[in-house]
DNA sequence: ATAGCTGCAAATGCTTTGCAAGGCC
DNA sequence: GGCCTTGCAAAGCATTTGCAGCTAT
């Protein structure tokens, strides 16, 4: 029950504490992405200090509610650019809806299907053993674990 | 390299051997689904004896090539009905594309992203350990493992 | 015969491109 | 100032409903 607060704590320490608004700018520059107004705004929302799981739509709602005008398409483009730059990780849990995770480290997820809600599981926690060798000519790229949970 | 043929063998034994065209009818009746021409045709293609991974589009292509006229929407509907009836399992590996698996037993998957190709991993093979307790009020429903592989 | 379910056309909603405007060097 | 880039409108694609028709009883 106190387990998931451990996840959060881990990530706060990984990002450093507090408001890292500058971090958005730094991240963009380091990635060779131009620090446009929209990107800075989105980065500011995403990398505020703790891990976040967003969909294009949820992030668009958020940035709109913050009073900034950004089109949904731009949010999509930006999310993909951030992902390509290694700032985000795309999480596939639901066909027909893309989730993006600000925690790009090795970890897995709980997924509450009914509400479309993700919770991190630290990478060191879960262990997947006895993964068979992939068929000839193929190499393992990544192992994704999704623990689907329901309201009890 | 011979590993995946093991998977197939497992399923042949689970389904019984040879052409089980009748199996489609039996499955439909057991599920309370009316044995319509389209359903029988699709069931015939799906439950021929070995495990299959299909998308709505691939199955539609297949049934069309077989000379049967079925609309893509019907294929979607049928796949979902079969899934609800427990005859199929939906596999989420790719945002924006749904895969369906005729193997409804406990198992996991290799996924070759570049080609959209799935390979079964028997359930007894892989072990996931140390899954933390889900947050309060939630219960684990299923643990999905996707081993993403690439051409070496 | 008929009651209900099925199957498809049209619609829906998420996501991706084409082009005009904008920003950095 | 120039060139590449961005940001959004409009289009694209997989998927889902509403109604006419058919099927098993």
Mean pLDDT value of segment A61-82: 91
Rounded Cα distance, B97 and A135, in Å: 23
Cβ-Cβ contacts under 8 Å between A and B: the total is 143
What does chain A come to in residues? 152
Contact B110 A135 (CB under 8 A): yes
Rounded Cα distance, A126 and B132, in Å: 8
Of A31 and B68, the one with more pLDDT? B68
End-to-end CA distance of chain A: 14
Structure confidence by residue, pLDDT tens digits, A91-100: 999 988 899 9
Alpha helices in chain B (DSSP H): 3-15, 21-31, 37-46, 56-65, 72-84
Asked whether the predicted pLDDT for residue A2 surpasses 80, the reply is no
Distances (CA, A) of A22 to A19, A76, B80, B97: 8, 22, 48, 37
Contact A3 B133 (CB under 8 A): yes
Decide if B132 touches A, using CB distance below 8 A.
Answer: yes
End-to-end CA distance of chain B: 14
- Compare CB distances from B127 to A94, A129, A133 and report the shortest one's residue: A129
User: What structural domains and CATH numbers belong to chain B?
Assistant: 3-94 (1.10.10.10), 106-149 (no CATH)
DSSP B51: -
B146: closest chain A residue by CA = A144
pLDDT at A35: 84
DSSP B115: G
| 3-class secondary structure, A118 | strand
Asked whether the predicted pLDDT for residue A5 surpasses 80, the reply is no
pLDDT at A23: 64
Rounded Cα distance, A1 and B133, in Å: 7
Rg value, chain B, Cα: 17
pLDDT at A21: 44
Count Cα atoms within 13 angstroms, Cβ side, for B66.
Answer: 14
pLDDT at B114: 85
Sheet strand arrangement including B89-94: B53-55, B97-101, B89-94
Asked whether the predicted pLDDT for residue A109 surpasses 90, the reply is yes
> pLDDT-based confidence at A29, cuts 50/70/90?
low
pLDDT at B13: 36
Task: State the smallest CA–CA distance between residue B51 and chain A in angstroms.
Answer: 17
Task: State the smallest CA–CA distance between residue A23 and chain B in angstroms.
Answer: 29
- pTM of the predicted model over 0.75: yes
Mean pLDDT value of segment A101-106: 92
Structure confidence by residue, pLDDT tens digits, A114-137: 888 899 999 889 989 999 999 999
Residues contacting A107, CB < 8 A, separation 6+: A7, A120, A121, A122, A123
pLDDT at B23: 66
Q: What is the enclosing helix (H) or strand (E) of A152?
A: none
Note the strand C nucleotides within 7 A of protein beta carbons.
Answer: 5-10, 14-17, 23-24
DSSP B133: P
Closest C-alpha to B12, from B22, B24, B20, B3: B20
Task: State the smallest CA–CA distance between residue A106 and chain B in angstroms.
Answer: 14
- Asked if A112 and A56 touch (Cβ cutoff 8 Å), the reply is no
What does chain B come to in residues? 152
Listed as ranges, residues in chain B with pLDDT below 70 are 1-24
Q: Is the CB of B56 under 7 A from strand C?
A: no
């Amino acid at each position: 029950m106190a387990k998931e607060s451990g996840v959060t704590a881990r990530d706060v320490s990984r990002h450093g504490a507090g408001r890292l608004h500058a971090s958005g700018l730094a991240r963009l520059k380091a990635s060779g992405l131009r620090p446009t107004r929209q990107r800075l705004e989105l980065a500011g929302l995403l990398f505020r200090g703790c891990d976040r799981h967003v969909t294009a739509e949820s992030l668009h709602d958020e940035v709109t509610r913050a009073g900034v005008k950004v089109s949904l398409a731009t949010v999509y483009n930006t999310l993909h650019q951030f992902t390509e730059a290694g700032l985000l990780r795309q999480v596939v849990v639901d066909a027909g809806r893309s989730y993006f995770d600000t925690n790009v480290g090795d970890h897995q997820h709980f997924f509450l299907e009914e509400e479309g809600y993700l919770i991190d599981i630290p990478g060191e926690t879960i262990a997947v053993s006895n993964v068979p060798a992939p068929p000839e000519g193929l190499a393992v790229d990544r192992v994704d674990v999704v623990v689907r949970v329901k309201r009890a």
